[in-house]
Amino acid sequence: MMTKAVPWARDLGFEVTRIEKGRVWGSQPWDDSLVGDPDTGVIHGGVITTLLDNLCGMSCSAILSDFRFVATLDLRIDYMRPADKGRAIIGEAECYHVTRTVCFTRAWAYHETRDKVIATAAGAFAINQPRPADKLESLA
């Protein structure tokens, strides 16, 4: 779905699997081309960063009552353990606080459950003000 409109997300091949109010889940399949360490076959951290960045942004859209675009202000990632070679990575993001201009999010990446997490993320997103109608043509 939404990832189809985002070339870099589409190129990496991840999918959104579930959406609730303020929460989004996604899955990033393992692929040869995403490897960051050719000796071990571990996926590069940048893939996890992209996955969690995208899911965090979507969790903001999933909590706001009006449709708005959000832009990442900052994102912090902590790597707990390497991902296993050949396995898909599950990402889960939640938007836990909203102000008029900023959404606060956190996210997790894991194979099975959040008990054994690969990486965690915390990000703040700026809520873009709606564009005037005459500028919306470019969205069509």
Pick the closer one to other proteins by CB: 21 or 43: 43
* Residue ranges in 5-24 that form contacts with other proteins under rule CB under 8 A: 5-9, 11-12
Pick the closer one to other proteins by CB: 76 or 97: 76
Pick the closer one to other proteins by CB: 35 or 102: 35
Can you name the residues that pair with 112 across neighbouring β-strands? Answer: none
Residue 67 CB partners (closer than 8 Å, separation 6+)? 61
Draw the binding track, 29-58, toward other proteins (x: CB under 8 A; -: no contact): ---xxxxxxxx---xxxxx-xxx-xx----
Pick the closer one to other proteins by CB: 5 or 133: 5
Task: Provide Rg for the chain, Cα atoms.
Answer: 16
> Residue 39 in contact with residue 52, Cβ under 8 Å?
no
Class of residue 121 by CB neighbours under 10 A (exposed 0-12, middle 13-18, buried 19+): buried
Q: Please give the residue ranges that form the binding site for other proteins (CB under 8 A).
A: 5-9, 11-12, 32-39, 43-47, 49-51, 53-54, 69, 71-79, 138-139
